[in-house]
Amino acid sequence: MVARRRKRAARDAEEGIPSPPGYSAVPIKFSEEQKASHYLYMREHRVRDGAKSSWPQKRTLFVLNVPPYCTEECLARLLSPCGPVQSVELQGKPELTESPKEPKSKFFHPKPVAGFQVAYVVFQKPKGVPAALALKGPLLVSTESHPVKSGVHKWISDYTDSVLDPEALRVEVDTFMEAYDRKMAEEEAKAKEEEGVPDEEGWVKVTRRGRRPVLPRTEAASLRVLEREKRKRARKELLNFYAWQHRETKMEHLAQLRKKFEEDKQRIELMRAQRKFRPY
């Protein structure tokens, strides 16, 4: 494994495309007319032992620096000579933790403008990955047979896609609200069942529906209660009784005066520096 990586790095260095350790660099251009190309940096997707990942091990390719005009279909097409591609996913940042992927609604989560992205390409067979790492390129995103829109054509097609169907929106809203109402009703029913029923240790949960009035569980409410307790305690304690209390109050007072004096000095310095009227 290590030997293979060193050989690959050596081979890349011979060909003149430097790549970071562990990655292989493949040039990619928009079309034939471009002279300079961006470089895709690829490696097999690996996670630390024990960590979980959304993508199957051994068959997933991790690609960095995918240019903005390269879409998922483009990438799938460009990598298909290495082996049949199962899925391509483009993301803004490399996935750091596993997160559940829920389907994004195109009405409520419109796709943001894409910059340079990171791709996870899942092949159907594990041999696709080393074949992709051995690609020489330069890969062409837009060719005669598969033109890719950019510029004015792309903006017009984006605008066309942004004009959405209100009926589809209505259907989606209705289904969501039905599911939500059902969930709320279930929770209500469950809460009503558990009303007044003690759990295994004998504790009864205090809810809004109980007989005694209950405080809402917010930070503001708990702060208010603590404030009230503190005031009650302060009323009961004597502040001027012990000798050490006298001493403490005097010293605090002096320290505060000193602090205020320092602040005022600084403020006057600032005012003097800002003064614009200097007749001398």
Partner 1 sequence: MVLLDSKADDGFQLLLMTPKPMIRAFDHILHLCPLSRLQAACHRLKLWPELQDHGGDYVSAALGPLTTLLEQGLGSRLHLLAHSRPPVSEWDISQDPPKHRDSGALTLGLLLRPEGLTSVLELGPEADQPEAADFRQFWGSRSELRRFQDGAIREAVVWEAGSMSQKRLIPHQVVTHLLALHADIPETCVHYMGGLLDALIQGLKETSSTGEEALAAAVRCYDELSRLLWGLDGLPLTVSAVQGAHPVLRYTEVFPPTPVWPAYSFHKHFPERASLLPRPDKPCPAYVEPMTVVCHLEGSGQWPQDAEAIRRVRAAFQLRLAELLTQQHGLQCRATATHTDVLKDGFVFRIRVAYQREPQILKEMRSPEGMISLRDTPASLRLEKDTKQLPLLTSALHGLQQQHPAFSGVARLAKRWVRAQLLGEGFTDESLDLVAAALFLHPEPFTLPSSPQVGFLRFLFLVSTFDWKNNPLIVNLNNELTVEEQVEIRSGFLATRKQLPVMVIITPQDRKNSIWTQDGPSPQILQQLVVLAAEALPILEKQLMDPRGPGDVRTVFRPPLDMYDVLIRLSPRHIPRHRQAVDSPAASFCRGLLREPGPSSLMPVLGYDPPQLYLAQLREAYGDLALFFYDQHGGEVIGVLWKPTSFQPQSFKASNTKGRMVVSQGGEMVMVPNVEAILEDFAILGEGLVRAVEARSERWTV
Region of 41 (left: φ > 0; alpha: ψ -120 to 50; beta: rest) is: beta
Residue 20 binding partner 1, by CB under 8 A: yes
Decide: residue 169, CB within 10 A, 0-12 exposed, 13-18 middle, 19+ buried.
middle
CB of 172 to partner 1, least distance (A): 8
What is the separation, in whole angstroms, between the first and last Cα of the chain? Answer: 79
Residue 219 binding partner 1, by CB under 8 A: yes
Nearer to partner 1 by Cβ, of 41 and 86: the residue is 41
220 is written with which tokens?
A: 């503001």
> Strands of 139-140's sheet, edge to edge?
85-91, 117-123, 60-66, 38-44, 24-29, 139-140
Residue 131 binding partner 1, by CB under 8 A: no
Q: Which amino acid is at 81?
A: P
258 is written with which tokens?
A: 């000193």
CA 13 from centre of chain = 35
Residue 233 binding partner 1, by CB under 8 A: no
Q: Which amino acid is at 17?
A: I
List the one residue from 10, 47, 134, 156 that touches partner 1 (CB under 8 A): 156
Where does this chain touch partner 1 (CB under 8 A) — which range of 17-25, 71-79, 82-90, 128-136?
17-25
CB atoms within 10 A of CB 2: 6
List the one residue from 3, 35, 100, 111 that touches partner 1 (CB under 8 A): 35
CB of 74 to partner 1, least distance (A): 13
Q: Which of positions 57-96 make contact with partner 1 (CB under 8 A)?
A: 64-65, 67-69, 93-94
Nearer to partner 1 by Cβ, of 4 and 109: the residue is 109
CB of 20 to partner 1, least distance (A): 4
* Nearest-5° Cα angle at 170, 91 to 111: 15
Interface contacts to partner 1, rule CB under 8 A: 13, 18-21, 25, 30, 34-39, 41, 64-65, 67-69, 93-94, 107-108, 112-116, 118, 150-153, 155-156, 158-160, 163-166, 169-170, 172-173, 176-177, 180, 184, 216-220, 222, 267, 270, 274, 276-277
